[in-house]
């Protein structure tokens, strides 16, 4: 096992060296701050990877090392906990609305009631929500500005369309779907956490998911709540050995947001662990059947993304039209994640010097804070977190930080559920750590909500 870990670590370092060499010869503008930030990001990421690789290989090759807890709670106990979670989520939504209204009143000088200014207060027309509502109402089109909506995946608009039959209004349907998914996600987060933790820590996982500084996006008609729910469902069912159902949930996550395909990573780790456990204990026929089931299930994770590519082809004649629009309309393509830190630092420095505090506080400072906060949490929890979740976080971090025009890092990381598990593991030994991190998250969330309600460029 140690030789395998060493070989994978060596390959990992080689890949990083090649990436740095390609980056070094292709970047033509250098600043001291940008270069140092990039190298710091890269160093933390490599350190995280080297700490995580032995844990991941050990998890796969020594399947008896970690076992799930017996979570056979009585129906009465489970019902009590579920009601506690539901009431907590509802109460937190009420507090969120009131906090947003207070920030709005402070900005506008008390003009307008909460209900009359609700849509304006949440800047629904300034974020991607209107694109999803447009798809729900008109589907994808090929003319005018709405033709660019093809870059947004369709499952959330489909859910809005279904909900609209009950609400009679697309905006109300969007809010309804997002908040119902939020409730369901809280319950699945608890159930997933209970596979590894006691009740108290499992409830803390739920807490950390919904106090993450950008968690207010779960309230809005955006994809975050639905994607989080499907991600949690996928891992829960896979952990419960309901392979095909879990992979179909992952496929729906990939039909909601493109990072959903990355759920194949933790699922593959769980499959590999299961197959390793059965290799010596099962006869050849049984093992072959399990291997076939694993392969078929894993392939099904791609169905959501493949369906989206088909929609692109059916609407525009090009399965990859979305990537063309992203590149030409938004100057968006994938590059090295550590180069993202370089230009983010440079934009942060320049906007601060130019006294453009709206961009500094709305975009660049939150992006950089989120990136380094997540890296720190990944590094510190690399040997504690469930290795399948850590493998997912490594892939997810590279994917979401890589775009050449990254505007929404805090929102992207809000749906990375392993961060909540990491937060619990990093604070479980000392109560003051839990209090401190909870305070920092809530304070950061209030500040981020304040700049969002104030109309700063928060996307």
Greatest CA separation found in the chain? 74
Q: Under 8 Å CB-to-CB from 405, ≥6 apart: which residues? A: 330, 331, 332
Structure confidence at residue 110 (pLDDT): 63
Prediction pTM value = 0.94
pLDDT at position 67: 53
Which DSSP state fits 403?
A: B
User: For residues 9-31, b (16+ Cβ closer than 10 Å) or e, as one string?
Assistant: beebeeebeeebeebeeebeeee
Residue with tokens 């996982």: 205
pLDDT for position 119: 82
3-class secondary structure, 35: helix
Taking only the tens place, the pLDDT of each residue in 329-372 is 888 899 999 999 999 999 999 999 999 999 999 999 999 999 99
24: which residues sit within 8 A by CB, 6+ positions away? none
Work out the angle at residue 236's Cα, subtended by the Cα atoms of residues 234 and 238, and round it to the nearest 5 degrees: 70
| Ranges under pLDDT 50 in the chain | none
Phi then psi for 28, rounded to 5 degrees?
-105, -15
DSSP string across 310-343? HHHHHHHS-TTHHHHHHHHHH---B--HHHHHHH
> Minimal CA–CA distance to 267: which of 279, 275, 256?
275
Tokens 């200014």 belong to 117
Note the pLDDT of residue 76.
84
Query: Who's near 283: CB < 8 A, 6+ residues apart?
Result: none
């Amino acid at each position: 096992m140690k030789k395998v870990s060493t070989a994978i670590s060596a390959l990992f370092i080689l890949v990083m060296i090649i990436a740095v060499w390609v980056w070094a010869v292709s970047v033509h503008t250098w600043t001291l701050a940008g270069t140092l930030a990039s190298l710091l990001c890269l160093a933390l990421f490599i350190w995280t990877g080297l700490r995580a690789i032995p844990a991941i290989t050990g998890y796969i090759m020594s399947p008896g090392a970690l076992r799930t807890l017996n979570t056979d709670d009585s129906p009465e106990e489970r019902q009590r906990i579920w009601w506690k979670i539901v009431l907590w989520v509802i109460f937190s939504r009420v507090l969120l609305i009131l906090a947003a209204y207070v920030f709005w009143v402070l900005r506008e000088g008390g003009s307008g009631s909460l209900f009359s200014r609700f849509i304006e207060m949440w800047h629904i027309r300034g974020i991607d929500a209107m694109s999803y509502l447009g798809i729900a109402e008109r589907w994808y089109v090929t003319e005018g500005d709405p033709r660019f909506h093809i870059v947004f995946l369709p499952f959330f608009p489909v859910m809005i369309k279904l909900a609209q039959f009950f609400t009679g209004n697309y905006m109300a349907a969007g809010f309804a779907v997002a908040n119902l998914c939020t409730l369901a996600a809280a319950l699945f987060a608890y159930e997933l956490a209970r596979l590894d933790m006691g009740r108290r820590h499992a409830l803390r996982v739920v807490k950390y998911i919904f106090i993450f500084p950008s968690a207010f996006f779960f309230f809005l008609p955006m994809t975050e709540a639905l994607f989080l729910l499907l991600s949690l469902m996928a891992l829960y069912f896979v952990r419960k050995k309901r392979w095909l159902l879990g992979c179909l949930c992952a496929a729906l996550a990939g039909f909601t947001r493109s990072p959903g395909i990355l759920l194949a990573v933790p699922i593959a780790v769980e499959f590999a662990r299961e197959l390793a456990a059965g290799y010596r204990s099962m006869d050849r026929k049984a093992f072959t059947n399990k291997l076939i089931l694993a392969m078929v299930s894993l392939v099904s994770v791609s169905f959501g993304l493949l369906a989206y590519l088909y929609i692109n082809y059916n609407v525009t004649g090009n399965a990859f039209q979305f990537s063309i629009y992203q590149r030409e309309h938004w100057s968006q393509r994938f590059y090295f994640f550590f180069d993202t830190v370089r230009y983010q630092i440079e934009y942060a420095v320049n906007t601060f010097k130019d006294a453009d505090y709206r961009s500094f506080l709305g975009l660049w400072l939150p992006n950089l804070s989120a990136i380094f906060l997540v890296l720190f949490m990944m590094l510190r929890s690399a040997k504690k977190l469930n290795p399948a979740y850590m493998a997912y976080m490594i892939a997810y971090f590279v994917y979401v930080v890589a775009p050449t025009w990254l505007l929404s890092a805090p929102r992207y990381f809000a749906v990375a559920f392993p961060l909540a598990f990491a937060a619990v593991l990093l604070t479980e030994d000392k109560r003051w750590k839990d209090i401190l991190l909870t305070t920092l998250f809530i304070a950061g969330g209030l500040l981020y909500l304040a700049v969002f309600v104030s109309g700063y460029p928060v996307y």
